[in-house]
Amino acid sequence: MLNFICVTCGTQYGESPQPPERCPICTDQRQYVGPHGQQWTSPDQLRATHHITVGAEEAKLNGIGMAPEFAIGQRALLVLSEKGNVLWDCIPLIEDGIAAMIQGIGGLSAIAISHPHFYSSMVDWSRAFGNVPVYLHAADKKWVMRPDPAIQFWEGDTKVLHDGLTLIRCGGHFDGGTVLHWADGNEGRGALLTGDIIAVTPDLHHVSFMFSYPDLIPLPAEKIHHIVKAVEPFAFNRIYGGWWGRVIREDAKAAVVRSAERYLRAIGVKDDSACESERTKR
């Protein structure tokens, strides 16, 4: 009995003697099945071929990724907090070494994840730290491929964790698409941890929004308006996206607004009034 892991998206499944016939996350149009068909690995196989990398992003924020790159290639973020460290997003691999390192700096009090493409091995991560809660938005409940009592589904538009950490439901890429507001981030000017619900683009001055990134399916205007409105009440000067190096270091809140305006123009929407209230503050 193994907890098989999808090679394409990195999602870990509940125990079974054989790999699942298909990965529903990959057969959904937001992801894809590669030309060689559905492929699987196991936690032990992954540990034999990959290792974890750690890098400091700023004071009290560390990135945790994998080398060589695997599946979607995201990195998680570890927020250090007096009332308990929080792992934002997740990766498919966990090793004794990273668990020991995190325990040495206070362990974990919670895991929170932006959307199903980053659920990966969230249950293994929770169990490594004493079954800490894993917070997922209830709108994405059907995408959980390895149910576990540690998973706690939250509802509504926001969920306050502690020490200025707040989960914000933006929707968009997935119905429950979530970002994490870190009020103390960026030396108290605020930071937003977004995965690819609000995706930092390679120029590091803009963000974008998609229904499907692999298949390049855009979001409709109403979804863009909702994302802008969801983050508007929160102060943030920096955005950390879901991959190494995808960071907007200054003026990030304005970047969200101007990026949304650019997006709306590109899809032929002339009325961008949903951005007006934030634009007038700039």
Backbone dihedral region for residue 163 (phi beyond 0: left; psi -120 to 50: alpha; all else: beta): left
pLDDT > 90 fraction of the chain, expressed in percent and rounded: 94
**What would the two tokens of residue 49 be?**
């071929």
Exposed/middle/buried for residue 88 (C-beta within 10 Å: 0-12, 13-18, 19+): buried
Residue with tokens 């997740």: 90
pTM of the model: 0.95
pLDDT confidence of residue 281: 54
pLDDT mean over 45-49: 97
pLDDT for the residue numbered 154: 98
Is 275 a residue whose pLDDT tops 80?
Answer: no
Dihedral sign computed on CA atoms, order 227, 232, 235, 238: positive
Query: The domain 5-279 is classified under which CATH number: 2.60.40.1180, 3.60.15.10, 3.20.20.70, 2.30.30.60?
Result: 3.60.15.10
Question: What pLDDT digit, counting tens, does each position of 90-144 carry?
Answer: 999 999 999 999 999 999 999 999 999 999 999 999 999 999 999 999 999 999 9
Query: How confident is the model at residue 114, as a pLDDT?
Result: 98
Confidence bin at 264 (pLDDT 50/70/90): very high
Could you tell me the CA-to-CA distances from 110 to 63, 166, 190, 234 in Å, in that order?
16, 12, 20, 22
Q: Tell me, what's the pLDDT at 277?
A: 52
Domain boundaries, the chain: 5-279
